[in-house]
Chain A
Amino acid sequence: MFRPRLPAMLKDAGLTTLVAAALGIFVVGFRTVDVGSRRGLGFDYEFGDLAVALVVIFVGRFGLSLAAMGLRWPAMALGAVMAAIGASPLELPSGFLHWFVVLGGVLLVIRAAWPWANQAFATAAATPGGRTLDRLASRWIGVLMLGFALILPALPFADQKTMDLGVLILTYVMLGWGLNIVVGLAGLLDLGYVAFYAVGAYAYALLSTHHGLGFWAVLPLAGMLAATFGVLLGFPVLRLRGDYLAIVTLGFGEIIRLVILNWVDFTNGPAGIGSIPGPTLFGAVFAETAPAGKQTVAEMLGIPFDGNQRLIFLYYIILVLALITNLFTQRMRALPVGRAWEALREDETACRALGINPTNTKLTAFAIGAMFAGFAGSFFAAKQRFISPESFTFIESAIILAIVVLGGMGSQIGVVLAAILLIGLPEWFRDLGNYRMLAFGLAMVLIMVFRPRGLIAHREPSIRLHPVASRGSG
C-alpha cells in the first residue's frame, strides 16, 4: 500500500478544481437574461453556484485520491458527509446544487466500496454455482417480466400515461429484438435500421389510406416489403465489413428518409400522412361511434365505451408481435442458419473455410431483421395514425442500436432491460427538468463502466451435449 502523500493529493485536487473553474466560469458563472427590449441581453452572475460546485469538485477529487490510495474508509466517510449535506435542507444557491452534491457523495461512496464489490462479484462469478445462478437469474427475469407485461393493463396504476409508455417500450423491445438478429447474432453493424421501420410504416399508411386495406392484411405485406428492401440493400453492401458496412447502412437510412421527404406526390412529403385507420378487432373499430357499415368494439362486446380500450388493444398487439419476434429468433438460433449467423460474427474466414456461404447467410439475417422492423413500422403507423419523415431520423437507429449494445450483444433479455432503461429512464427523469438528459447520460456511463459487455453478458448455448441438471451434480 502507498503511503498517502498529502501535498501531492491536495495539489491534484487543486488542479482539478482549477480546470473545472476555467470551464465552469462561462457555463455556470454567467447566465444571459433578457433585461427588457431596450437594452437586450444582460448578464446574471451566479458565482455562488460556481463556488459550491468547485468546493464539491475539490472535496470529491480529494476523496477519489484517498480511495485510489487504498484509504477506503476515509473516502467513504467523505462521500457520506457530502451526500448528507446535499440531502439536508441546508440553504444552497440553487436547487440543482443539492442534486449535484448528493450525486458527488454517492459516486465517491461507490468508488470507495467498488474494490470490495468487484471482488465479491468476481468470486461469485468464478464458482460454478455463481454461473448457474446467473443463468437461472436470466431465465427467471424473463418469466417474471413476461408475467408482468401480460397483466400490466389490469394493474391499478395502469393509467393512460403508463399504457402509452408500455406501448412505446414494447415497440422498442421489438425493434431491438429485430436488430439483435443483425447486430447481436450476425455481427453486422447496421446504422440504418430505421429505414426498414419507415418502409413498414409507409407501406401501411399508403395502402390503408389509398386502397382501404386493413391493418391485418397489410402487416405481412409490410414485413415482406421491408425484407425485400433489406435484400436489395444487402446484396451489394454485405461484402463490406465492420465500419464500411456501418457507413453504407447509415447512408441508406438517410436516403430512404430523404426520398420520403422529397417524393411529395407519393408520400405527401414533410406534411406526412394523416388519418391512418387503427387496427380492428374482427372488423370492429375502436371508436365512440362507428363509421357507416362498421361496428365498434364496445357495441360488439356489449360493454360501455372507454378511451383506454384502444390503447390496451394496441398494447397486446405489440406485445404479441414482440413475443413472435423473440420466439422466432430463439428458434432460429438453434437452427443451422442461426448458428451460422453467430459463427459469422465470430470469424467470417473460418466460416468460408467450412463451406458456409457468407453472403447468403448475411442476407437472411439482414432480411429477417428488416422484416421485423417492417412489422413494427406498420404497428407504429396504426398506433400514431399520423406519420411523417421526422419519425424516422438517424437518432431512432442510434437508440435501437444503443438498446442492443447496452443489453449485451445477442442477449434477448438484455434488450428488454435496455429498452426499459433507455426509453423509460428519460420519462421517469422528467422531474429533473433540464438536467434530465444529463442524468440519463450519467446512467449510461455508469452502466458502461460497470457492465462493459452489456447488461446481460451471459450467452446461453444453442445446444448442449450434457443436460444442465447432470452438470450441476457432477
Chain B
Amino acid sequence: MTAPLIEVEHLTMRFGGLVAVDDISFSGQPRQITAIIGPNGAGKTTVFNCITGFYKPTVGRLTLHGDRDYLLERMLGHEIGQRARVARTFQNIRLFPAMTVLENLMVAQHNKLMAASGMSIYGLLGLARWRTAEARAVDLARGWLERIDLVDVADRPAGELPYGAQRRLEIARAMCTEPRLLCLDEPAAGLNPRESAELNRLLVSIRDLDGIGVLLIEHDMSVVMSISDHVVVLDYGRKIAEGDPASIQRDPAVIRAYLGTDESGADG
C-alpha cells in the first residue's frame, strides 16, 4: 500500500454541547475515490468543513501528504487551497453567478496568475510574460470546458446555466486550482440519471487521467457503489464501517444505520 494522500486522525468537532463528529479516523489514497456516506446529519459535511478549513476541529490531526506534510488543522482557510492544494465543491452550488463561465475558471487560477502578473504590475504594463501566462491559463480552462462540454457557453454568465451544467462547472473550477485532493460534497444531488452517469465518467477520468485523490460525499448509492474505491460510513458522528464498496453493502452495521433497527428485538 502506498502512502495515503490525506490522513484524518481522531477528528472530533463539538459545537457547544453537540458532538457533530466524534473521534473519526480514516485515510484517503492518491489516485483513489474515497466515498464518505451516512444518513442525514451523520457529520459528513462537518468532516469536509474541517478538512477544508471552514471549521477548526476541536480535537484531531488532519495531514495532507504533498511535496511536504501539511497539517491542515493549523492552516487558515484560504491557505489550504493555496498551499496544501485541497479543492472543494459545495452541497449548494457556489459559483460566481454574474461572472462568465470562463471567468469562473480564471478566478480558480488566481494564485498562479497573481504571481505571473507580478502582483498586477506586469499585468498593468501588459508585459509579454503576463500575456503568455494568461493565455496558458485560458488554455487550461478551455481544456476543462471541453471535458465538461461547456465550450459554447464559455462567455455566458455562470448563473444562467442549467443546474446540471453548474454542477459540472463547479467541479471544473475546483480542478482548475490544480489540486492534490478534490473534495466533492454531494456532486450528484439533483442530477437526472443521464447527468449522473456523465458525472461518474468525469470523476473516474479525474481519478485515472489526472491522478487526483478524490473525497466524495454522496447519497446516490449508484454513484458511490460504481466508482468509489473505498467507502467510509458515518452515523451520528461516528465511523461505523470502512472498506471496499462490496463489503460495505453487506455490512450489518451499515444496513442497520440505513434501514433502522428492529425495536421489538425478541422475534427479529
Please report A residues at the B interface, Cβ cutoff 8 Å: 328, 331-332, 334-337, 339-340, 342-343, 346-347, 349-358, 459, 461-466, 471
Contacts of A335 in B (CB 8 A): 113, 117, 120, 123-124
Question: B95 contacts the other chain (Cβ, under 8 Å)?
Answer: yes
Contact of B110 among A331, A339, A459, A464 (CB under 8 A): A339
The answer, among A342, A346, A357, for a CB contact under 8 Å with B82, is A357
Q: Which residues of B contact A347 (CB under 8 A)?
A: 94-96
- Cα–Cα distance between A137 and B145 once the two chains are bound (Å): 30
- Pairwise interchain contact A354-B138, C-beta atoms closer than 8 A: no
CA distance A344 to B174 in the complex (A): 16
Instruction: Determine if A346 and B151 form an interchain contact, defined as CB atoms under 8 angstroms apart.
Output: no
Knowing A347-B95, A461-B155 touch, does A339 contact B80 (C-beta < 8 A)? Answer: no
User: How far, in Å, is B93 (CB) from chain A's closest CB?
Assistant: 9
Check if B110 sits within 8 Å of A356, measured CB to CB: yes
**A339–B158 CA distance with the chains assembled, in angstroms:** 14
The main secondary structure of chain B at its interface with chain A is helix
Identify the closest chain B residue to A347 (Cβ).
Answer: B94
* Residue in B closest to A350 when the chains form the complex, CB atoms: B94
Per a CB cutoff under 8 Å, which of A336, A342, A358, A464 touches B99?
Answer: A342
> Which residues from chain A contact B117 at a C-beta distance below 8 Å?
335-337
Give min CB distance, B195 to chain A, whole Å: 22
Q: Is the CB of B145 within 8 A of A465?
A: yes
Count of chain B residues near A, Cβ 8 A: 47
Q: Which residues of B contact A465 (CB under 8 A)?
A: 102, 138, 141-142, 145, 151, 154-155
Q: 8 A-B residue contacts at CB 8 Å?
A: A336-B113, A339-B107, A353-B94, A357-B82, A461-B155, A462-B103, A463-B134, A465-B145
Known interface pairs A353-B88, A354-B110; A343-B102 also in contact (CB < 8 Å): no
Q: Is the CB of A353 within 8 A of B52?
A: yes
- Asked if B99 and A339 make an inter-chain contact with CB atoms under 8 angstroms apart, the answer reads yes
- Residues in B64-91 with C-beta less than 8 Å from chain A: 77-83, 85, 87-88, 90
Residue of B nearest to A338 (CB): B120
Closest chain B residue, CB of each to CB of A353: B88
Chain A interface secondary structure, helix, strand, loop or mixed?
helix
A357 to B79, CA, bound (A): 8
A342-B98 in contact given A352-B77, A353-B81 (Cβ < 8 Å): yes
Contact A463 B106 (CB under 8 A): yes
Q: Is the CB of A356 within 8 A of B99?
A: no
**For the complex, what is the distance from the CA of A215 to the CA of B126, rounded to whole Å?**
30
Given contacts A355-B110, A463-B102, contact A349 B155 (CB under 8 A): no
Query: Which one of B102, B123, B151, B177 contacts A355 once the chains associate, using CB atoms below 8 Å?
Result: B177
CA distance A387 to B52 in the complex (A): 51
Asked whether, in the complex, the Cβ of A459 is within 8 Å of the Cβ of B98, the reply is yes
Contacts of A464 in B (CB 8 A): 100, 102, 154-155
The answer to whether residues A357 and B78 also contact, given A461-B102, A466-B155 and a CB cut-off of 8 A, is: yes
Asked whether A343 lies within 8 Å of B96 as measured between CB atoms, the reply is yes
Bound Cα distance from A342 to B159, whole angstroms? 14
Chain B proximity of A443: nearest CB distance (Å): 27
Cα separation A339 to B141 with both chains bound (whole Å): 15
A336 near B102 with CB under 8 A, answer no
Chain A's closest residue to B122 (CB) is: A335
CB of B108 within 8 Å of the partner chain: yes
Interface residue ranges of B101-149 to A (CB < 8 Å) = 102-103, 106-111, 113-114, 117, 120, 123-124, 134, 138, 141-142, 145
Could you tell me if A354 and B98 are in contact, using CB atoms closer than 8 angstroms?
no
Cα separation A401 to B113 with both chains bound (whole Å): 31
CB distance from B262 to the nearest CB of A (A): 42
A328 proximity list for chain B (CB < 8 A): 124
Cα of A351 to Cα of B134 in the assembled complex, Å: 19
A364's nearest neighbour on chain B, judged by CB, is B120
Q: Among B81, B82, B110, B154, which residue has the most Cβ atoms of chain A within 10 A?
A: B110
- Listed residue (A336, A342, A346) with the most chain B CB atoms within 10 angstroms of its CB: A336
Least Cβ distance of A247 to chain B in Å? 25
A354 touches B87 (CB 8 A): yes
* Given A335-B123, A336-B113, A337-B120, also A342-B96 (CB < 8 A): yes
Residue ID in chain B nearest A336 by CB atoms: B113
> Smallest CB-CB separation from B79: which chain A residue?
A355
A349 adjacent to B94 (CB under 8 Å): yes
Q: Is B239 an interface residue (CB 8 A)?
A: no
User: Nearest chain-B residue to A464 (Cβ)?
Assistant: B155
Given contacts A328-B124, A351-B78, A356-B78, 17 further A-B contacts (CB under 8 A): A334-B123, A336-B110, A336-B120, A339-B107, A342-B96, A343-B110, A349-B94, A353-B88, A354-B177, A355-B83, A355-B85, A461-B99, A462-B103, A463-B103, A464-B100, A464-B154, A466-B155
Residue of B whose beta carbon sits closest to that of A360: B78
Is the beta-carbon distance between A339 and B88 smaller than 8 angstroms? Answer: no
Contact between B155 and A355, CB atoms less than 8 A apart? no
A343 to B177, CA, bound (A): 15
Determine if B173 and A355 form an interchain contact, defined as CB atoms under 8 angstroms apart: no
Whether A355 contacts B78 in the complex (CB less than 8 A), given A336-B123, A337-B114, comes out as yes
Contact between A355 and B81 (Cβ–Cβ < 8 Å)?
yes
Q: Which residues of B contact A334 (CB under 8 A)?
A: 123
Q: Which residue of A lies closest to B130 (CB)?
A: A335
The smallest beta-carbon distance between A363 and chain B, in angstroms, is 13
B97 at the interface (CB under 8 A from A): yes
Q: B83 contacts which chain A residues (CB < 8 A)? A: 355
